[in-house]
């Protein structure tokens, strides 16, 4: 009986047989994802799982301008110190503020949008060119500074105030309260940004010869209702275009009859 060749010889013979048959590699009928494997071999390892950072809490709401209404000054004498020191009137602080001037019950209260740029340094509202123009206008109206109460809608000069935001945050209600405390016989608003603070629709032409109703601006004091008002362009525009002075003068004559 012939002995069987060793196992290595049998394997070599089998491989030679398949090689002569034209088969050089082993094949499988099961499909394989060659491209995916290649992509995975060259791809960097996935980053470790990280916990999502919690959303930061929303910023606290800004305090109401002027604080609580119940804490507002009750007399005109108390208004100027409050106007100069109340922190919520201006988030940037109290620097640059200018106090109103005059007495309660004045023949005319004049409201301008804001102080002039040099007023804080000079320590008086309307101490520059606009103030000189107003003094000249008052002389022609047969009024003196002592006959008037002079105020600004904002406590300090600002380069580009957001009037819509100021109205939304309650600056109009503060102005209405200020007017009520001053209790003037007549009210002159010099600036097209002031009427919207007091509830006037800015899409409509200003009512130059109408009484002002402060209750619409958040102040229901009886003494604040029905004050005759004249609204006109601000002093800066009157300085830039002297022709506008004639239009203002006609409105004043008609209103003061």
Q: Is residue 25 part of a domain?
A: no
Kindly tell me the sign of the dihedral angle through the C-alpha atoms of 94, 77, 231, 122: negative
Q: Is residue 5 part of a domain?
A: no
Cα angle 157-65-220, degrees, rounded to a multiple of 5: 110
Q: Is residue 121 part of a domain?
A: yes
| Residue 156 DSSP symbol | B
What φ, ψ does residue 245 adopt, rounded to 5°? Answer: -65, -35
Residues 6+ apart with CB under 8 A from 195: 189, 202, 206, 231
Token pair in block for residue 253: 């004559």
pTM of the model: 0.71
| Residue 101 DSSP symbol | B
Q: Is residue 49 part of a domain?
A: no
Tens digits of pLDDT across the chain (257 residues): 566 777 777 777 777 776 776 666 666 666 666 565 555 555 666 666 666 777 877 776 667 788 888 899 999 999 999 999 999 998 888 999 999 999 999 999 999 999 999 999 999 999 999 999 999 999 999 998 889 999 999 999 999 999 999 999 999 999 999 999 999 999 999 998 898 888 766 555 554 444 554 443 444 443 444 688 999 999 999 999 888 889 899 989 888 87
- Position 208 scores a pLDDT of 44
- Position 214 scores a pLDDT of 44
CA distance 245 to 229: 18
CATH of the domain at 88: 3.40.470.10
Distance from the Cα of residue 210 to its chain's centroid = 29
Q: Is residue 37 part of a domain?
A: no
Q: Is residue 46 part of a domain?
A: no
- Position 185 scores a pLDDT of 93
Q: Is residue 62 part of a domain?
A: no
Expressed as residue numbers, the domain containing 224 is 73-256
CA distance 227 to 109: 10
């Amino acid at each position: 009986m012939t002995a069987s060749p060793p196992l290595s010889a049998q394997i070599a013979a089998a491989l030679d047989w398949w090689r002569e048959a034209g088969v050089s590699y082993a094949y499988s009928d099961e499909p394989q994802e060659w491209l995916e494997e290649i992509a995975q071999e060259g791809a960097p390892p996935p980053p470790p799982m990280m916990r999502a950072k919690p959303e930061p809490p929303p910023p606290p709401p800004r305090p109401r301008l002027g604080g609580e209404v119940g804490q507002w000054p009750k007399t005109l004498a108390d208004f100027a110190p409050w106007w100069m020191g109340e922190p919520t009137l201006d988030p940037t602080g109290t620097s640059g503020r200018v106090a109103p001037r005059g007495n309660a019950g004045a023949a005319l209260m004049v409201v301008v949008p804001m102080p002039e740029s040099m007023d804080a340094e000079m320590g008086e509202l309307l101490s520059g060119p606009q103030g000189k123009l107003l003094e000249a206008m008052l002389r022609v109206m047969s009024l003196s500074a002592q006959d008037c109460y002079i105020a600004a809608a904002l406590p300090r000069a600002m380069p580009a105030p957001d009037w819509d935001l100021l109205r939304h945050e309650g600056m109009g209600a503060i102005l209405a309260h200020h007017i009520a405390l001053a209790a003037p016989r007549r009210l002159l608003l010099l600036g097209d940004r002031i009427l919207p603070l007091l509830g006037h629709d800015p899409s409509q032409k200003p009512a130059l010869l109408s009484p002002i109703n402060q209750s619409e601006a958040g102040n229901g004091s009886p003494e604040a209702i029905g004050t005759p008002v004249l609204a006109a362009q601000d002093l800066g525009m009157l300085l830039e275009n002297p022709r506008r002075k004639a239009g203002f003068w006609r409105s004043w004559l008609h209103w003061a009859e």
